[in-house]
Amino acid sequence: MRTLVFAVVVAAALPAQDFKPLFNGKDLDGWKQVGPGRFVVEDGLLKTEGGMGLFWYTREKFGDCTIRVVFRATEARSNSGVFIRLPEPPPDAWYGVHNGFEVQIAGSGDEWHSTGSIYSLSRVTRNNSKPPGEWNTMEIELDGARTVISVNGEKVNTFEPANPVPERKQWYEPVRGPRPLSGYIGLQNHNPRDTVYFREVSVRKK
């Protein structure tokens, strides 16, 4: 009994695991681009250029965890995204769309295509993005097959893939179907007119 009590006390005293940065603020170490365009480091920030491309973290797959990205758009129409649950290293820019899920970054989209939505699969309860030029914090919690998304401290989306999703209507919409419980993550550079900056990309494992 004493051993059990001691173990509980020690566990309670341990600090919660901190977020581990995947972007070091200096260079593109650990990341790789596929498809058109690129990401560059500008004044310690990741900046999208050109597109449409996929910039992915090569060193690890992530299962149950929380992914945190801090970003700002230059215009309301600026478009990007965070890809999750990619089962394999992506061979092209569209692999993330059809084999993972895209958590959308777009201040001017509708409820199925605005910041915090899972593109055309799971809508947001509200668009909680800040105006262009201001920093936003988005947290993406992977909990088994479930994905919970918060934008600027407010939960805006809970995606249960077993629930019905809208019918696929356009060729560029993601192929419907299950995704793995763990996978690679990435960022999207959308096209030359859309510029988004990222100050932080980090992960906290459970």
pLDDT value at residue 11: 41
DSSP-assigned states of every residue in 79-126: EEEEEEEE-S--SSTTHHHHHSEEEEEETT--TTTSTTSBTTTB--SS
| Residue, of 7 and 50, whose pLDDT is higher | 50
Answer yes or no: is pLDDT of 91 > 70: yes
| Residue, of 109 and 110, whose pLDDT is higher | 110
Q: What is the mean pLDDT of residues 137-151?
A: 98
**Which domains can be identified in the chain, with CATH numbers?**
19-163+173-205 (2.60.120.560)
Tens digit of pLDDT for each residue in 156-165?
A: 999 999 999 9
Q: What is the mean pLDDT of residues 114-138?
A: 97
pTM of the entire predicted model = 0.90
Percent of the chain with pLDDT over 70: 92
Q: What is the mean pLDDT of residues 104-129?
A: 95
Answer yes or no: is pLDDT of 140 > 80: yes
- Cα 113 from Cα 104, distance rounded (Å): 6
